[in-house]
Structure 1
C-alpha cells in the first residue's frame, strides 16, 4: 500500500463534509478511508435511541448479515460488551475479550468471512453519541497504529458532518426572523434546537404541539399558521409558527422542527376572520365553524365574504388555499370552548 498522507486524508474528509446529502457525505468518507484501510465491508450508522437500532446511512459488503445489523440484538450485544460508545478506534486485536466470546464476531462477522476490522463510535465535539463507523476485512492483518491515529483524528470531522442536528439547523435557517424553536421527536417529546432559544409555548403536550402535529399531518412536509402568544384565545398578540417535517432526516427519531417568528402581514384580517379561516383550511362547513365559534351561521357567511375580499379570492376554497400557503389562519383547535373564552 502507498504511504499514508495524513494531511491529505484530513483535507479530503473535510471537503467531503460539504456534500449536500448526508448519504453522499458518508459515501465520500468511506471512499477516503479506503485509501488507508482497504476494507472489504464498511458501514456508517446513526443510532435511533427510541427504537434501539443502528440505522445505516451507508453500508457496503455486509449483505449476508443485514438482518442482524438491523436488529436490537446487535445493539444489545455491543452495549453488553461496553463496545457501543467506544470513542477510540478499535481493531479486533484490541477487543477487551477474546473475539470468539463476542457474539457479533463469533456468530456473524467471522462466519461471513471477516478476519479483522477497525471501528469507532461517532461522537460529536460536544459529546453527543451519534452512531458507528465500522470497517472489516477478510485479511487478518490489523490496521497500523498510524491508521488508527488518523481515524481518531478525523472522527470529529465525520461526526460533525453526519450530525442530524446539522441538517435540522440548515432547515431552520431557511425561515426568516426566527426568535425561538424546538425539536419534536417521534415519541412526542420536545428537545432543544441547538443555537435557538426555547419558548414556553413549545413544550410536550402543549396545545401548540398538538396543532403543529395536526397541521403537518394535513399539509405534509411544511405547515405555517398564526398563534396567540399565550396559548389562549383572548390575547391580541400573534406569532407565526412554522413546522418543518424531519421525517426524512436519519436516523428518523425526529418528527419536526417547530419555529416561532414574528406574525406575517395580516392583510387587514381580524382575529375572528383568522379563526374562520382556520375552519376553511380544515374544510369545515359554515355550520360547523359557527358551532365551534359560538356564533350564528349568517355571521360566518359574512366573515367568509370578508376574508375572500381581503385575500383576493374568488371562492372559499381559494381563500383556504391562500390562507394555508401564507400561514394566515388560527388553527380551529384553539377556537373551541365556551363563549366567554372567545374575543
Structure 2
C-alpha cells in the first residue's frame, strides 16, 4: 500500500516525539498517542491501558468509541487473562483477531461484547519495555475486516516498545535512580507492598518479601516524602553490614499503584558513627521523646545525654539541633524499625 509507505516514517517520528516529550505526564502522552496511529489503521474505537500488577487489571488511560458494557469489560479482571490468551508477548507484540492462537469465539470480549457492537477486526498490542516488563496494552477496533492490514500491524508492532517506554509508570524514577552512584540493587515499591524491578538495577536481599525496610519506605511515601536517604543494616553472609537507602517518591498519576523507588547503594562516609549512634539519630529524627529513646537503648536519660553528645561530636558540632540537621541532610541515621536485621 503506497500511502502507508509514505505515512510510515511520519507516524514513527510523531510517535517518537510524543514518547520523548519529557515535560508531559503519562496521561498527556497517552491521549496524544492514538491519533498518529489512525493514519495506519482507520479505527472506530481505541483502548490504551496500563497494567496494575497488584490487582491484575488494566487501568485505562484512553478508552474511546465503546459502549458502557465494553468499558466495564476492559477494566475488569478478565481483560488481563484475555490479553495473555491472545499470545501478546515481547516476541509478538501485535496481533489481529484473525491471527489469534485460539479460536476467536473463545475470547469472550470479542464474541459477547465487541462483535455485537459492530466491530469486525482489531489490533491488540502488548506493551513491553526494553527489559521485557509488561506495562500495558493498546487496542484498536475497526468496523471492517480490511483493516488493520499486514503492513499496519507490523509497523505498529515495531512501535510497541516506544509506546511502552512513553507510558512506563516507573520512567521518571528510573532515570533519577540511575544517578545514584555505587548502587548494587533497586526496585519500585507498589502501594500493595510488592517490589517490581527497576530497569538497570538488580534485585537486593533488602527488597525481599517480609523485609523490614519495605514498611518504613511505605510510611515515608504515605507521609508525602518525595526523597529520603538513610542507612539500613542487614546480614550479609551472617556478617552485619550497612547499606545506604535512597527513596524516590513516584508521581501520583495513572495508574496510581506505584509508591516509591528504592535504591540500595554503598554506605559512603559514616563520620565514624557506630550502629547504635545511627539508631539513636534515627529515633531523634523520628521525634521520639528522650524517655522513649532511652528505653529503646536500655539506658537512663542521663546516660542518653552522653550518647547524644558523642554522636554530635562525630558530626562536628556540640549542638544537638545542628547534629540532627547534619544527620538528616547527610542521611546518617537508621530509622526506627530497621535496627534488627534478619
Q: Same fold by TM (over 0.5)?
A: yes
1:331 and 2:331 aligned: no
Q: In the TM superposition, what is the alpha-carbon distance from 1:280 to its structure 2 partner?
A: 1.6
What corresponds to 1:11 in structure 2?
Answer: 13
C-alpha separation in 1, matches of 2:113 and 2:272? 67
Q: Structure 2 vs 1, CA of residues 326 and 57 (structure 1 numbering), >3 Å: closer, same or farther? A: farther
1:178 and 2:178 aligned: no
1:34 and 2:43 aligned: no
Q: In the TM superposition, what is the alpha-carbon distance from 1:48 to its structure 2 partner?
A: 2.6
Which sits farther off after the overlay, 95-104 or 297-306?
95-104
1:263 and 2:267 aligned: yes
Which sits farther off after the overlay, 117-126 or 300-309?
300-309
1:159 and 2:164 aligned: yes
What corresponds to 2:114 in structure 1?
Answer: 109
Which sits farther off after the overlay, 109-118 or 318-327?
318-327
Q: Structure 2 vs 1, CA of residues 313 and 75 (structure 1 numbering), >3 Å: closer, same or farther? A: farther
Q: In the TM superposition, what is the alpha-carbon distance from 1:292 to its structure 2 partner?
A: 0.4
What corresponds to 1:48 in structure 2?
Answer: 52
| Equivalent residue runs for 1:114-193 within 5 Å | 114-138=119-143, 141-164=146-169, 166-190=171-195, 192-193=197-198
C-alpha separation in 2, matches of 1:176 and 1:28? 35
Contact 2:250–2:261 (Cα < 8 Å) also in 1: yes
Which stretches in structure 2 are left out of the alignment for 5+ residues?
Answer: none
What corresponds to 1:90 in structure 2?
Answer: 95
Contact 1:167–1:249 (Cα < 8 Å) also in 2: no
Helix, strand or coil: the match of 2:337? helix
C-alpha separation in 1, matches of 2:324 and 2:143? 62
Q: In the TM superposition, what is the alpha-carbon distance from 1:226 to its structure 2 partner?
A: 1.9
Aligned residues: 333
Q: In the TM superposition, what is the alpha-carbon distance from 1:162 to its structure 2 partner?
A: 3.3
Which stretches in structure 1 are left out of the alignment for 5+ residues?
Answer: 338-343
Q: Which string of whole-angstrom CA distances, capped at 9 and with x for unpartnered residues, describes residues 2-60 of structure 1? A: 91222222232223221223333333331210122222321222223332201223333
C-alpha separation in 1, matches of 2:286 and 2:97? 58
1:226 and 2:231 aligned: yes
Which sits farther off after the overlay, 195-204 or 295-304?
195-204
C-alpha separation in 2, matches of 1:158 and 1:124? 9
Q: In the TM superposition, what is the alpha-carbon distance from 1:288 to its structure 2 partner?
A: 0.6
Alignment match of 2:300 (pick from 293, 296, 301):
296
Q: Structure 2 vs 1, CA of residues 95 and 127 (structure 1 numbering), >3 Å: closer, same or farther? A: same
Q: In the TM superposition, what is the alpha-carbon distance from 1:290 to its structure 2 partner?
A: 0.4
What corresponds to 1:69 in structure 2?
Answer: 74
Aligned CA-pair RMSD? 3.8
1:22 and 2:26 aligned: yes
Contact 1:179–1:260 (Cα < 8 Å) also in 2: yes
Contact 1:276–1:300 (Cα < 8 Å) also in 2: no
Contact 1:85–1:129 (Cα < 8 Å) also in 2: no
Helix, strand or coil: the match of 1:155? helix
TM-score, structure 1 normalization: 0.78
What corresponds to 1:340 in structure 2?
Answer: none
C-alpha separation in 1, matches of 2:130 and 2:178? 21
Q: Structure 2 vs 1, CA of residues 192 and 25 (structure 1 numbering), >3 Å: closer, same or farther? A: same
What corresponds to 2:285 in structure 1?
Answer: 281
TM-score, structure 2 normalization: 0.78
Q: In the TM superposition, what is the alpha-carbon distance from 1:259 to its structure 2 partner?
A: 1.4
Helix, strand or coil: the match of 2:3? coil
Helix, strand or coil: the match of 1:50? coil
C-alpha separation in 2, matches of 1:264 and 1:29? 43
Q: Structure 2 vs 1, CA of residues 320 and 75 (structure 1 numbering), >3 Å: closer, same or farther? A: same
